Chains A and B, each alone.
Chain A
Amino acid sequence: GQQLNQSPQSMFIQEGEDVSMNCTSSSIFNTWLWYKQDPGEGPVLLIALYKAGELTSNGRLTAQFGITRKDSFLNISASIPSDVGIYFCAGSQGAQKLVFGQGTRLTINP
């Protein structure tokens, strides 16, 4: 089946550092989504991308839809303690199904 390769699997950073994670696929997607999941909660939508090359920001978060439509990245600038959690990328081809990456676990040392 389709797979999204999300990297890195985990990150240990200092507060204030910038973070970058990405997802790649061998398949083309029409939509790329980035979610964050905190312990005991459901995934929360951070950013949705709909067009190849699109660059979208949400506060300190910036995400881009790759030109080839097979990849996306998420950057977090000036990390703070509440950024801790698991970040998932997800791709959609418009058929209701989302394909998820394996997640990036972010840990921040104060």
Chain B
Amino acid sequence: NAGVMQNPRHLVRRRGQEARLRCSPMKGHSHVYWYRQLPEEGLKFMVYLQKENIIDESGMPKERFSAEFPKEGPSILRIQQVVRGDSAAYFCASSPGGRETQYFGPGTRLLVL
């Protein structure tokens, strides 16, 4: 049973470009979460989605960031007009239900030049 998959693993963008991060949950999991980890810090919750629905986006910055989890395909975290402060590791997690253990993907390390 494949774990949570994320791609790309590493992403380099110049300021002002767009970053698209993809997450495929574990088989049988319909709940997806995105977290951001700044260097030397813990993870910070960004958004929680189920198929075609955003359940909680209280941790998402109000501008430039968006997330979706379509009926078919992976969940996408999109960052428009990236700035240097967006450089971080972005982790996706999935769970079979909303109050169950979250399993984390390998992360996407975004570097903004």
Decide whether A and B are members of one complex. Answer: no
